[in-house]
Chains A and B, each alone.
Chain A
């Protein structure tokens, strides 16, 4: 079993829809939770970062972490065609200085149709 599981999609939604992307994980030591966005043929870029449990909002994006269920989510409101990309969840722990060692999900390919 992988440490981080993510539905690869693809996910196709109409413009303006609310998008929900999710990851589950098995390592209870994970404390840092991130969402990266990767456009086609580009490197990933950090989109959202959350430490431990809770919610974080940034414009149209909301990240949620539920450590009791080992489940994280990214919500995109009023989705735009420019949001079409692959979204990767990533996690790390601070056990043994492993903060920098990110474990990635497989990524979910999102297409927002105009």
Chain B
């Protein structure tokens, strides 16, 4: 029972490159979300999904895309990386209607 698994753990990108951050869960939770964590800013919601085929924007969605084709997977795509996207990214899952979020270990992304 792995919980929430994020890959990769570390990544360095050049400005303008694209990449996908992977998130997989085996908890059978309907709700999945992506946050970014920056010093002095806390965790900010990027995108979220309430189930397969349904996604919506959070507080800071610009520059990111998501899709949800299965309950288990919720990838986050950076379309054209910018230095402002240097951050630690966390994926989280929750039972729909619940408040206890289970987080992955995070992906540390640096854009140069």
Chain A interface residues (CB < 8 Å from chain B)? 4, 6, 8, 32, 34, 36, 41-46, 49, 88, 90, 92, 97, 99-102, 104-107
Contacts and interface: CB of A to CB of B under 8 A. Distances in A.
Closest 4 CB pairs of A and B: A43-B103, A106-B42, A104-B43, A104-B42
Contacts of A46: 100-101
B105 A100 contact: no
B100 A100 contact: no
Interface of B: 4, 31, 33, 35, 40-45, 48, 50, 58, 90, 92, 94, 96-101, 103-106
Nearest to B105: A43
A106 B40 contact: yes
Given A43-B106, A100-B94, A92 B43 contact: no
B94 to A, nearest CB: 5
Contacts of B44: 104
Nearest to A3: B59
Contacts of B104: 43
Contacts of B42: 4, 6, 88, 104-107
B99 A106 contact: no
Contacts of B105: 42-43
